Amino acid sequence: MKNYESVVTLAMRGDGDEPMSEDSNIALLEKIVRKQRSIIRKVSGKKLTEVPQVWALYKEVQDYYDRGMRVPDDVTLLFADDNWGNVRKLPDPDAKARKGGYGMYYHFDYVGGPRNYKWLNVTQVQRMWEQMNLTWSHGVDRIWIVNVGDLKPMEYPISFFLDMAWNPTQFNSQNLLQHTENWCEQQFGAAYAKEAARLIDTYTKYARRITPELLNDTIYCLSDYNEFEKVVHDFRTLALDAYRLYQQLPDSLQDSFDQLVLFPANAFSNLYEMYYAQARNKEAAANNHPDAAYWAEKVKKGFLQDSLLTIHYNTKISNGKWAHMMDQVRIGYTYWQQPEKAVMPATMKSANSQQHWFEEKEGAISIEAANFNRKKDLKHASWQVIPNLGKTKDGISTFPQNYYPSESDTLLLEYDVELVTSGEVEVHVFISPTLNFNSNKGLRYQLSVGGSAWQTININDSYDMKKMEHWQANSINHTVTRHTIQSAGKQVVKFRVLEPGIVLQKIIINTGGMRKSYLGVPETIRYK
């Protein structure tokens, strides 16, 4: 350490990110900590309280803390996310203050299950802000660390994270895009800032739906709602818009724009085109349709185009200054770890402000959370829309994020629906994958349909990686409840929360006809 300004990490982890022993031997680890602090005192010649120290509760180490292990009060407790940008634990609001305080360890990049994600930026600043604001509001302010993997292509999320760490209170749910625009103005000038910011904001929203390493030909539905075709079109349009702006930029700015905007938009778009072609190939082959050969050729071209984009990055951008920064393998995964080389996918042969309500269509009602009919706020707490946070549209949550509602609070949302059927229905609620940061008590919401009694649902009362990997990786927490509708016609759906940090994205009422899709039934809103 010499005379550097350092923070000393205490305790120990097992080999290969595993616990040191199956029974989380607390006595052994506490002995290790005492020995380490003795070494610090002896070598530094300082009082222990004068040497900053941290205990990182990353991954399996949190089990020791949850089972009662504690360290001296001057040591900072560094909580962690779940490697996917979802905060795992935060201090209890009424916890006694610690001299060492608390920190947070966050991820933009990860090596581990269910699959790595470390090729392109898939971090939405809206989600990062929401989770780190949740962290800040719970008094976690001593240390913020972010694992970025490669510095490229994480330039923008790194900038946002550090700006937020410097002054967390400067941001709110409504000014996040302004930061993106200001940052783009620094890179490209005022004339191009708004469009460049829109492109970055949009591509990261699309990218976070499913990481490139998890994307394949089966994620999106090919027939129902034309879902796959729509997401391919989204990325294709985005890449075209990026290329249009690239052409307008002065030559001196084109390389920077290519790295930060155009390359990721093109690369994502091509990847989606390739997997869409694979899905169409399999569909055509299953039906003995001659188009199977056409789509197989499209897969081949997409795989080739992926490598050509990489060569372009390595040789053309800034005359090869950043060669090999985008060589990370992203095609051909079969389990969590990356393949040694890319493998071509297999092919086969031959709103507005008007009055509105949500109506039942084809056996389902779909509601985007931000399109409520009424909201009821409190004097000290309110609902706020977080633009663009939802997988399809916006998210909505309660603020401040350290306000814990009681069951008597009227902090709720109401949605007017019109049903043509009655009887038992399923209600699917889609919530951002916020974790049980409140000492594993879980996050609870309540739901009432058509005047029925409130049902209380705990979305995550345990931290079981095997059970949670699916919705963590898919960036959604999906719960289902059953309700009895006494009669068809106009009804009201009521939603409220009992903990902060719950970000509602979508509600779907299945009256018997809901079809499978990754993004859910398109909204069935109707305006007067």
* 105-114 residue pLDDT tens: 999 999 999 9
pLDDT tier at 461, thresholds 50, 70, 90: confident
Q: What is the pLDDT of residue 354?
A: 65
Strand partners, 87: 81
- Distance (Å, rounded) from C-alpha 52 to C-alpha 42? 15
Q: What is the mean pLDDT of residues 262-276?
A: 98
Residue 287 pLDDT = 83
Question: Is the confidence at residue 250, as pLDDT, over 70?
Answer: yes
Q: Which residue has the higher pLDDT, 20 or 36?
A: 36
Q: Taking a C-beta distance cutoff of 8 angstroms, is the pair 54, 7 a contact? A: yes
Domains belonging to the chain, first-starting first, are: 8-174 (3.20.20.520), 179-320 (1.20.58.2150), 356-527 (2.60.120.1620)
Q: Structure pTM?
A: 0.91
Can you give the pLDDT at residue 479? 95
User: Rounded mean pLDDT of 8-30?
Assistant: 80
Q: Is 39 left (phi over 0), alpha (psi -120 to 50) or beta?
A: alpha
From the number of C-beta atoms within 10 Å of its C-beta (0-12, 13-18, 19+), residue 524 rates as buried
Cα distances (angstroms) measured from residue 482 to each of 429, 454, 508: 11, 12, 12
Residue 124 exposed, middle or buried by CB count within 10 Å (0-12, 13-18, 19+): buried
Range with top average pLDDT, 26-30, 44-48, 100-104: 100-104
What's the Cα-to-Cα distance from 62 to each of 57, 131, 428, rounded to whole Å?
Answer: 5, 19, 31
Mean pLDDT on 397-402 = 98
Q: What is the pLDDT of residues 337-376, one digit of tens each?
A: 999 999 999 999 984 456 899 999 999 999 999 999 999 9
In the predicted model, is pLDDT for residue 226 greater than 80? yes
Q: Is residue 462's pLDDT more than 90?
A: no
pLDDT at 191 (0 to 100): 98
Asked whether residue 466 carries a pLDDT value surpassing 80, the answer given is no
Question: Between the CA of residue 273 and those of 212, 301, 328, 522, what are the distances in Å?
Answer: 12, 10, 19, 22
The full DSSP string for 26-54 is HHHHHHHHHHHHHHHHHHH-S-GGGS-EE
CA distances from 80 to 33, 77, 218, 345, 435 (A): 20, 10, 32, 35, 11
User: Quick one: average pLDDT of 440-459?
Assistant: 94
Report pLDDT for 291.
Answer: 87
CA distances from 158 to 154, 190, 518 (A): 6, 21, 29
Q: Report the mean per-residue pLDDT for the chain.
A: 94
User: How large is the average pLDDT for residues 210-224?
Assistant: 95
Residue 168 pLDDT greater than 80, yes or no: yes
Contact 501, 445 (CB under 8 A): no
Average pLDDT over residues 391-404: 97
pLDDT digits (tens, 9 = 90+) for 282-302: 999 998 887 899 999 999 999
CB 88 within 8 A of CB 463: yes
Q: What percent of the chain has pLDDT over 90?
A: 86
Least confident residue range of 59-68, 115-124, 253-262: 59-68
What is the mean pLDDT of the segment spanning 317-324?
Answer: 96
Tokens of 71: 């360290």
